[in-house]
Amino acid sequence: MKTKYYLAFLGMAALASCSKNSDPTPTPEPIVGTSFVSKLIEYLPAPGQFINTDLGNTVGANTIIGKKGMVSLGAWGGSIVLGFDHLVINQLDKDDIIIYGNPLPTFSEPGIVWVMQDTNGNGLADDTWYEVAGSEFKNLAYQRNYAVTYTKPAADTDPVPWKDVYGKTGVVETNTFHKQAYFPEMKDKAGKLITEYTLKGSLLSNRNIDMSDPGMILSQPYDWGYADNLLGGDKIDIANAVDQNGKKVTLNGIHFIKIQTGVQANMGWLGELSTEVTGVEDISLMK
């Protein structure tokens, strides 16, 4: 929902191995990879004020492939799945991935991070997703296995209704700054435009939001472990990955990453809280 654009740049690096041994055994090929994510696997946004614009469609999603760009995930549950061209090694006692967003000092829009290792080796993101537990993981207001169903409104300028897994209802509010349809223009397998869909994931509390002064709405960052949260980028440690029961798992590394808007909140004249992603890099390959 923030409108500041970031310049794109391409960061690439390589790790090489060499041998001074005179043994005729061939030297192993150097480990080479692109520091930034190299492919878009899926873009599944929630409704929002930048959806159906260049910041909220597959065009925007592709701007962060191999470089920095900008894509908005929309309201709660909106997500993007990205792939690396190599195994991002789980470095011992080190952060492994950095996710860039566009937070401000007192305004963040935290996104939950999920990771996957290509354990079956087929190159597809069809193995198990593990959530990366951030600083809010043990907060009593934090919820896993949450779901929200969004329904297309009668008119593009109408708020987008939603209903969660517990029967609670609300809307993604529209504003006068963005007058296009907030409900994503997505098609089903038969090629028909969808009018309703359900997003699943984890829910962060909105305790970081202060709307007591409508002219200066605050959304303070959480301590660590979320996208679009801290200035300069959010460092993610693969060692914090947990399974469906909340227990830590041991991964050698990961090939895929998913980022999901974590908070469901309307921010007055600023619109919905929506995670933005401007880039994702393997820290070990950064220049």
Q: How many CB atoms lie within 10 A of CB 278?
A: 23
Give the integer Cα–Cα distance in Å for 75 and 109.
Answer: 10
State the DSSP code for 191. Answer: S
pLDDT of 29 higher than 60? no
Give the integer Cα–Cα distance in Å for 85 and 64.
Answer: 14
Supply the pLDDT for residue 227: 98
Q: How many CB atoms lie within 10 A of CB 137?
A: 17
3-state SS, 100-164, equals ECCCECCECCCEEEEEECCCCCCCCCCCCCEEECCCCCCCCCCEEEEEEEEECCCCCCCCEEEEE
Whether 275 and 78 have beta carbons less than 8 Å apart is answered as yes
pLDDT of 28 higher than 70? no
* Sequence ranges of the domains in the chain: 33-285
pLDDT of 21 higher than 60? no
Within the chain, where are the H helices?
58-62
Supply the pLDDT for residue 8: 31
Name which of 5, 11, 10, 9 is nearest 70 in CA terms. Answer: 5
Q: How confident is the model at residue 55 (pLDDT cuts 50, 70, 90)?
A: very high
Task: Give residue-wise pLDDT tens across range 175-208.
Answer: 999 999 999 999 999 999 999 999 999 999 999 9
